[in-house]
Structure 1
């Protein structure tokens, strides 16, 4: 996201530039600057890393003007900077087909105005939004951060939770603004850069965000970021559907896989009066740390009707079997040995381990992701029914 935020954080005006006849994928950048800059060398560059730029072209300011031209098969972000003013900042611009204008702010390079083509015009609108968001972020920090730090020091969870909730509401407000921008500028490659920001909100649902992505034009979707976002949203969507199918109150869908001794075992065959589906792996530290508690509970309550079926996200058969033996996990186990591609984990929407799904005597899911004493208390409650 560095790409967006190095760009001018100001309300940008859109300028038109006429009279330049371009062909094919040619672009022309015409800059206007204070005459005090006459004779200065100005560069067109691209970012290699956050600290390193690669110079692509250079020219000299004459009569308050400078010009760059070239060919760009697709929109690519470039940086413009003056040799004698490099430390004062750079001007971000999208090199793309068309006539691009740069109105340099001599007092503050970062507040220069770029426009003229689809992505540079969209960038202007987005920067206006980013200024507003930045101001709200600063105001929120000034109003709440000291109180939050004090509440945390004093163990005042009520105040902490209230501030977190207020910030969550602010985040949702930002996301609505970002989504509106995407819908208003569907053909701009800048849109895809906003999805990672929106996805920082853990409450965002792919079922709401995927239609927004689908409405974008082919060019932003074809970018590397666009492809990554599509893959991620599809994964999220599949997980959300799995979670809905295995939420509390639903009958647990059956599954089967191979046991350590090479046989096939299904959930139906492994059920007890109370059944725990335990998702774990030999390489999962928290899982291994929790295993002694689960062993103690199982030894105490198995005779009363508790069954456990372990579903491992291992890939290494020997390590899987070795962990079962070392941790004395005497209940039933299965695995497809596919790691995070474990189909049963995907079927149940499991994206982190350890994870548990607790079933009653009828195979209905009554709880998820309980551990320790909370898990044991729930099992005892169900066994007493």
Structure 2
């Protein structure tokens, strides 16, 4: 059955978007027509969809006897629309040819309406029902967790809370797993593109999305505008030199719609600007000079994208400054900072320029003045050539995962290992089915190779989903932390790492493997205001301590190297802080971690530099530890200082020199650099 489904997805390319010139009819009926927050009833409803980031109403209908209807010509491709007019949400409708029926619903809760009658609406309604069933399954899991506890814990709210908490996070992650499973089973429906965009996009790093869901899409789905939107979002998430540039569009002053991709085959300087921007206007002569420099030698275009919001101001500036020139095109959507293109290119200030190669790859950012002119000259001479980066990045494996044979000998993990076996079999069976269906030589053709690539991507989605579900169903397994760190963290966005930690059953949260997972997640999210990893400190006296043993005080954690002159100067500054800290009634603890590889040389340096002092913690980074302090804190140069609050949150990771001394002295004087901003009740 699985093989037949895969072949259907791979080969079915007709009929998905057929009958695009036919009309649609939407019919809706309300069981209850009153608003939720008002005694008034719904009198009129509106049909709208998103255009350039803004919801645009395209039709309206009067409600008569609790019923309404819309008629019109369906768009070429299925498109998501909303029906509004309520005070508590909207109804999601997918516009396509046919009769779309909104089953009797409660106008106080329009989001819960069930929409059926056409292929896409039927699939989305199935997805909604799948989600509603998932809520019921979540309740069952919570009840099961409660029932499994001894009576004394069930009746003790404090004792029950850890189990309730872990089950809550299991349910949260299980919702994503169920969405992944549904998407994998409905890849021949454009609704899956919608599910990926709104329910799954933030769950994965761009690399994982590209190599699974995007590659798994049948050829017909890749023609849909939402597929192009997803590709654009992925490019925007990986905005860097050597990567494909997100496509953008806008209207010329004459109203013609143009896209960046229309200029393929030429070098393009995308220039974000505004008529009110003085620095932008100062760049106009430079842009003119760049065009003159390139004329006849390099196929070079300037695409100026204005973030103005008023057309008269935009066009007047173009005319006044003589910007209507050959090879200089102007577009805008007149939405100011809310322009979709500005969001895609992370424009937070103007001017902002991006140089695009003829193949559509980013070559450089913020080229202005002489730098822009020199770049054009290098293009002319051949000194500068486009480069292409590799695939989009994932999280990668931050730390080596050592299970000490646990996974190979753990009986409970045997069924988890079988998932990989099933994955390999799914691929081999699928390839065999393709050969039977199309002939043995088919898989060596370009079309056949693409089919095999899609088949592998589907199998990868299914494996990822099955592994995630297994872990959530076995969150008390001793191997859970190791498997999450090895198989889950590299595949999912780092902000979801904390959910995996919180989903662990209380019984295993105190294990070394659980602590390693927790540290790994903290290391992945190391930034100001977040919890710092609880690193193991290998002290000069041969003992070990955990960083969290110094909780309750401010901590200055410094990584240094005896061979570095900059480190010597920094350690001299720390000595002045040490003297101040000794008078500060233990408000601050200094912890210095050496990255020296030679232990003897390190200890000699401690003596030579007079660093062996009471209450100044001296430790050495243990490279043999897969979760060493330097790895956990991402140290790639020395000296590096981390200023930490008494409750273990990071204040700063960039302070050095006299600025560091000044900030720490503020803390010791009571003029706190960091203060708890939690609202007081």
The TM-score with structure 1 as length reference comes to 0.46
The TM-score with structure 2 as length reference comes to 0.29
Larger radius of gyration: 2
